[in-house]
Amino acid sequence: MKGVFYKKVNIFVAALLMFSSIQAQQKHAERKPTVTNQGRYKLWYNKPAKNWNEALPIGNGFIGAMVFGNVQNERIQLNESTIWGGGPNNTIDSNARPYISQVRALLAGKKYAEAQELANNKLGPKGNSGMPYQLAGNLYIKFPGADSVTNYYRDLDIANATAVVKYTLNGVNYKREYFTAFGNNVLMVRLTANKPGMISCKVKLQSPLKSSVGVNGKETLVLSGQGSDHEGQKGQIKYTVLTRVKNFRGTCVTDTSGITIANADTAVIYLSIATNFVNYRDVSANSMNRAEDILHKAYRYDFNVLINNHIRFYRSYFDRVKLNLHIDSSASHPTDIRIKNFANNNDTQLAELYFQYGRYLLISSSQPGSQPANLQGIWNGEVKGPWDSKYTININTEMNYWPSEVTQLPELSTPLFQMIKDLSVTGAPTAKIMYGTRGWMLHHNTDIWRITGIVDGAFWGLWPTSNAWLSQHIWEHYLYSGDKTFLKEYYPIMKGAAEYYIDALQKEPEHGWLVVSPSISPEHEYIDGKNQVSVTAGATMDNQLVFGLFTDVIRAAAELHVDKVFADSLAAYRSQLPPMQIGKHGQLQEWLEDFDRTDDHHRHVSHLYGLFPGNQISPFTQPQLFAAVKNSLIYRGDVSTGWSMAWKINLWARLLDGNHAHKLIKDQIKPVTGNSGGTYPNLFDAHPPFQIDGNFGCTSGIAEMLLQSHDGAIYLLPALPDDWKDGSASGLMARGGFKIDMKWANHKIIKLVIHSSLGGNCRLRFNQQMNNKLLAVANGSNKNRFYQVMDLKTPIVKPSNESITPSLIKTWVYDMPTTPGKTYVIEKLIN
């Protein structure tokens, strides 16, 4: 009895200590957040989410959740990256080849409207236009009491990948904590209060998909579901959601109506999701066994162990890059208010937060072994989401991964590379059957089943150049990493894409150029008489993509010391591609003929691929084309869909105009009104509706404003806006394996640290003249040379083409030999 008495006393004391600790934490959190570094990476709000675009996203690449923070009836919307409609299939049109030949002939004869009509009638989707990514369902937690609470607060801490909800009700402080565990792959929710016995609620699972709810054993709630039938494809994905609770004191009862928790001090919810998906050809796994295994392994650990492991894993990615644009009192306002005020204040830290939010979303939606981030990342709250939440490969999928290399998240491209490998297999019969070629290809859209045929009809979907754009990501990864093992593995895929074009390119009759035909300039049209026409031959973007692919394969072959004859043949074909052309308005032509209009404000700016993300237009070597790109952007305008504005941020950064790029950041981070793009209260990018590529594109654009390495040198602060006169950035990556840390004041770099992983010459480009003596001493060598390269006069082509006005771009370049694994610290840069 004595032992029992002391045991009870110890438990009571421990409980008091726990409650006092929770109470102290909650009192601290209830105060309005102060402007500190600790809170600079929090999205926070003083009210629950009213809709999906106010809910907060958490994820680990495999499962995702949207936390609403409702007081009485909490909703946590659930996703798992392999829950899609339909099943294994491809969309190859075995009847397409003769019609493709006929469309080519009509285009060669400049019978554009007739070519469009034939394409519309004969070259549409075969069977389906791809399958939709779908939600798993919802976890509901229903609490007793009224919605009338005080001290309400919720946040998403992107420095730790956790979410919190707090409020006071009837004198009791309640707290909820949420995260999706990296490594353990479970959703975790902890419910606590600052007084004992106050946690009472009902946990339920629900799904709009075909599903049922049951109980496994005595403690586990089970939702069994199935993906939808869609466009003639039977739903073959089966999935299981398992939920189990650990309660401390009180009671917990599980039946088919849910899990009832009564009078607990603390309740911890564990939730796993798994499917029968193995790969795009195989759906033979057992979802219940998988979900049970995940839940069983996680349930052995308490909440604190799992959250500590989760944060440690997450921060191994997130902490690689730091950006400081300075913080002021604006950060003390809720995030939705900051978005509303951003256009009219100098809340530079919101741009910093948005930059890091893009990195958070990529870490949370794309992990080695997961599916790639789709059009909505991993978060979709509908049975059939916007554009089916598929992979749109005429810009959006690629934009998702623009930040991965430069912001030091290269492992997160692994799912993209695996999808490219899959597509090189499913796209081989498409190339042979539809186009009569070797190699592999696909059109502008795919899904989890890796379809490669035409999607959505010829007007939008007759674009056969996705393979070239996807291949660019392979080469870019090599440029940053120098990983020859990776290049050797993926070189055959790049070569296969090039083989497709060797066979598919057509000789254009007027100039004898080799062109992609038929194709489109993605989702855009030109006017032929009174007809809107998209189908074309030799679209500028296609020419740039094929030129880039051939160039990359030639270089890859040289790096690997293989295929010299093949590389020489690619060089011969490359020399016959159409050049980029400047049109009658001083613009870069979008099509082979000068169809562009000055009143065209289309969201796609595909013909500017050569500037970004390509590297075919330089202010230092092609000033006329550089000026023509600028005119094209001016004509298109700034305000557009969210992702389009994100692309333009990158383009204006490459045009070395930081103020214009910053203006577009202001345009993008604004409340959504009507059909214009902007930012939702949860910082999701709005097309509208939500498309995650705009988030990733803006993150990439901010990085491009601070560092560029595509044009033969590492250009530091190439497009720094006036509003960012002081700041610092660390961990940004440059091609060649260089990691850059820098600090600037009054727009001048005052400290620079270079980490060289591969060694070799590090060529730096500055907008400012440096103290060359101190630089040489800092690196410990008198052989380093520092010299002014050029005063470049860049012609700005007037829209009327009447005159050319020179402008001065003055840069200085410094060559610094480096040793692999060495770090170079350079201070006192300014005379």
**565-574 pLDDT, tens digit each:** 999 999 999 9
Place of tokens 């009219």: 344
| CA separation for the pair 306, 302 (Å, rounded) | 6
> pLDDT per residue over 783-806, tens digit each?
554 434 433 344 433 333 333 334
Closest CA to 167 of 305, 46, 281: 46
Model pTM score: 0.93
CA distances from 396 to 27, 167, 357, 546, 691 (A): 44, 39, 18, 19, 9
Q: Phi-psi bin for 255: left (phi > 0), alpha (psi -120 to 50), beta?
A: beta
Place of tokens 């996203």: 57
Mean pLDDT taken over the chain: 91
The 3-state DSSP class for residue 628 equals helix
Q: Judging by DSSP bridges, how do beta strands 199-206 and 804-818 pair with one another?
A: unpaired
> pLDDT per residue over 288-323, tens digit each?
999 999 999 999 999 999 999 999 999 999 999 999
* Cα torsion angle, 418, 423, 426, 429, sign: negative
Which of 75-84, 143-152, 341-350 has the least mean pLDDT?
143-152
CA gyration radius, the chain: 28
Are 185 and 60 in contact by the 8 Å Cβ rule? The answer is yes
CA distances from 779 to 619, 715, 753, 759 (A): 30, 19, 11, 14
> pLDDT per residue over 389-413, tens digit each?
999 999 999 999 999 999 999 999 9
| CA separation for the pair 75, 779 (Å, rounded) | 57
| CA separation for the pair 699, 406 (Å, rounded) | 10
Q: Judging by DSSP bridges, how do beta strands 162-169 and 172-180 pair with one another?
A: antiparallel
Closest CA to 228 of 383, 116, 94: 383
Say which residues have a Cβ less than 8 Å from residue 649's Cβ, sequence separation at least 6: 661, 664, 665, 668, 697, 698, 701, 702, 704, 705
Tokens of residue 653, six digits: 């950064």
Mean pLDDT of the 695-708 span: 98
Q: Which amino acid is at 271?
A: L
> pLDDT per residue over 36-94, tens digit each?
555 789 999 999 999 999 999 999 999 999 999 999 999 999 999 999 999 999 999 99
Model confidence at 3: pLDDT above 50: no
| CA separation for the pair 263, 172 (Å, rounded) | 13
- pLDDT value of residue 789: 41
- pLDDT value of residue 810: 76
Say which residues have a Cβ less than 8 Å from residue 239's Cβ, sequence separation at least 6: 80, 82, 83, 136, 224, 225, 226, 227, 273, 274, 275, 276, 287
Tokens of residue 745, six digits: 């004041």
Q: What DSSP designation does 149 have? A: -
Mean pLDDT of the 140-158 span: 92
